[in-house]
């Protein structure tokens, strides 16, 4: 556990022990400093396995992660009034969710733009193979969700680094279709283990055994969803850049070395001389020299980091600050005035619907970074000036 100096709830500790006791865990779990209670498995944990994968540990926001890129702009190039920039971003990228009888969800496209169409053409063959095996995946939000943000803690930000250079950063995953894939295989794992569920400490620890049809199908489906999530972030970054150019007329360039990293995913890796499946549930790959993104909470600092390749952590680091309380508890405890004070320096929504994302509902990002100083080194420190929430 890389948790020195940060609080760890007792329920999360019990959940970690439940997962660590499973017979196919390889060596040990690695626990990141942003650790907190999750569904089935703990968020902020790295779960290496041999011979099995736990679909609920990967979760339903498959491939959720971050993308960030630096521009050639600096703080002086931004307008004094940042509200028009925020509204331009909100117009360029569908976000949130609206539902109603006969109404279109404003969080999806009505007519997807060319960048989305091009990416969907690349994703479509794999999707058709999945649908041929699992027809219920056909009627999901897939094509019209590509290049959209979603809800909850997903966000788009314009940030400044330590040299006042402008960065673009966003957080999202595989949207509706990833949720459907994750939910489907969690159900299949539980159905396959129906006779053994009573022996598990949590039914959401139901697993798929290597060599089974569902295991192989899950690897294919989760790989596709992770690819979708990566392309989803690429599409949004393209549209975010277009929105920025509409507001800032001065020509500017984009750093080609964009950091695009998952933090909810599974993949095969080699550790301690063995090939294993590594599930990072709220954790980022941090191989030596590899760049990653650790966002703080709304209104706090974020970090571009370089991995140190710490093998005991399975070359991983935290994926953010980590919540200290539930969304409902944050809404009970804090007021709109608290939210306004905490985000006074950021152009963002300041209404009751986003109180659950108030910075005080998260761990101290500085303490989180200090606790993982043996996992990553800080390359850039970013502070938000514009934030669009899902």
CA distance 107 to 87: 15
319 is catalytic: yes
- Distance, in Å, from the CA atom of 362 to the CA atom of 302, rounded to the nearest integer, reads 13
| CA 311 – CA 287 distance, rounded (Å) | 9
Nearest by Cα to 123 from 94, 107, 144: 144
Q: Which of 23, 21, 41 is closest to 32 using CA atoms?
A: 41
Single out the catalytic residue among 95, 145, 319, 380: 319
Identify the residue whose tokens are 């606790």: 371
User: Rounded distance, CA 237 to CA 168, Å?
Assistant: 8
What CA–CA distance (Å, rounded) separates 160 from 162?
A: 7
Three-state SS string across 289-340, please? CCEEEECCCCCCCEEEEEECCCHHHCCEEECCCCECCCHHHHHHHCCHHHHH
Catalytic annotation, residues = 319
């Amino acid at each position: 556990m890389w948790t020195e100096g940060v609080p760890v709830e007792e329920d999360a500790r019990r959940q970690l022990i439940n997962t660590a006791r499973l017979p196919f865990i390889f060596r040990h779990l690695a626990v990141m400093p942003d650790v907190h209670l999750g569904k089935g498995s703990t968020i902020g944990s790295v779960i290496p396995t041999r011979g099995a994968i736990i679909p609920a540990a990967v979760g339903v926001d498959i491939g959720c992660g971050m993308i960030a890129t630096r521009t050639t702009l600096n703080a002086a190039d931004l307008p004094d009034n940042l509200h028009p920039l925020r509204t331009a971003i909100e117009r360029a990228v569908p976000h949130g969710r609206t539902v109603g009888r006969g109404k279109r969800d404003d969080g999806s496209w009505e007519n997807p733009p060319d960048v989305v169409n091009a990416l969907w053409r690349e994703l479509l063959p794999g999707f058709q193979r999945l649908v041929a095996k699992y027809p219920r995946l056909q009627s999901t939000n897939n094509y019209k969700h590509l290049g959209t943000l979603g809800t909850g803690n997903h966000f788009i930000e314009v940030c400044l680094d330590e040299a006042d250079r402008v960065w673009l950063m966003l957080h999202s995953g595989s949207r509706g279709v990833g949720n459907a894939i994750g939910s489907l295989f969690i159900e299949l794992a539980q159905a396959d283990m129906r006779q053994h569920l009573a022996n598990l400490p949590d039914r959401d620890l139901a697993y798929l055994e290597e060599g089974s049809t569902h295991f192989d199908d899950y690897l294919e489906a989760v790989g596709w969803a992770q690819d979708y999530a990566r392309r989803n972030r690429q599409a949004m970054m393209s549209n975010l850049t277009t929105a920025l150019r509409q507001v800032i007329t001065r020509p500017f360039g984009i750093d080609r070395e964009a950091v695009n990293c998952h933090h909810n995913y599974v993949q095969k890796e080699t550790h301690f001389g063995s090939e294993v499946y590594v599930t990072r549930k709220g954790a980022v790959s941090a191989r030596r020299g590899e760049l990653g993104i650790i966002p703080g909470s709304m209104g706090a600092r974020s970090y571009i980091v370089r991995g140190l390749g710490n093998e005991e952590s399975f070359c991983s680091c935290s994926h953010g600050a980590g919540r200290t309380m539930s969304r409902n508890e944050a809404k009970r405890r804090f007021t709109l005035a608290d939210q306004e004070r905490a985000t006074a320096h950021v152009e963002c929504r300041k209404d009751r619907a986003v109180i659950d994302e108030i910075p005080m509902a998260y761990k101290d990002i500085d303490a989180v970074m200090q606790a993982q100083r043996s996992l990553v080194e800080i390359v850039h420190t970013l502070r938000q000036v514009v934030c669009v929430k899902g």
